[in-house]
Structure 1
């Protein structure tokens, strides 16, 4: 599928602002065409633990929350990418993030939004991921990191 590519955080923030942000999500996969072709019905994901079919595509919301109170949109978007960047490695070669508009229909087993009525908007370039990582690292929070459940600390 021919989609434009967002090449930096400013571009992602501009897309977010232009599209309103409320119903925008990022999904880590082989892309919209693969998601539809791989599912038994369009716009469906599977629970990785049980294999159960889910009623929509698992994605992560880009919507800012009211408590964010006008802080940097770039930092918000950076942390949303940073949180789930591990999915690219976990899901294998060719997996990359893409931005979509969708309607949340349910929540998945990790409390992630499951979306339908998907409209693909843009790919997210690796340069954006590197920029996001740098911006998050600059915050120097010892209590914050990616949501990678493969990392075990005991």
Structure 2
């Protein structure tokens, strides 16, 4: 059994939204998990192969301009934006929540995080809930997906 197996699992979008409401400084990372990531402690720019000074992750903190809108929708969008990564990056890639210290920005302006502390896995059903929540919104929205040449 690995240390990653001991992490709690967020099983609903409501549970994730509650976590975001209770804690500041959370990030979501899509990868094969903390055990793999913490062994190397940095991400690599896929275009150039340059190692970056931290793990690329996406912030979950609600921005002030969001005002009193539902945190559930905020969290859904943060997950939905990168829900294509398991398909693009291959088997075993899934989201997990972490805390850490921002040390810079990656080429997509994503935070690079060090001093990482894994918090929990995000269950696949939460991604489905996030997709449904995004689809219920007034305007169409798709994941932030690049297409190749």
Give TM-score, length-normalised by structure 1: 0.90
Which residue of structure 2 lines up, in the alignment, with residue 123 of structure 1?
121
CA distance, structure 1, for counterparts of residue 20 and residue 138 of structure 2 = 26
> Aligned-pair distance for 1:104?
0.8
Mark the runs of 5 or more structure 1 residues left unpaired by the alignment.
none
SS at match of 1:85: coil
Mark the runs of 5 or more structure 2 residues left unpaired by the alignment.
none
Q: What is the RMSD of the two structures over their aligned residues, measured on CA atoms?
A: 1.3
Whether the aligned pair in 1 keeps the contact of 2:21 and 2:71 (CA below 8 Å) is no
Aligned counterparts, 1:1-154, within 5 A: 1=4, 2-18=6-22, 20=23, 22-37=24-39, 39=40, 43-142=41-140, 144-150=141-147
- Equivalenced residue count is 145
CA distance, structure 1, for counterparts of residue 93 and residue 42 of structure 2 = 17
> Aligned-pair distance for 1:16?
1.8
Moved over 3 A (4+): none
String of CA shifts for 1:34-79, please: whole Å, max 9, x gaps.
1123x2xxx2000011110000000000011111001100000000
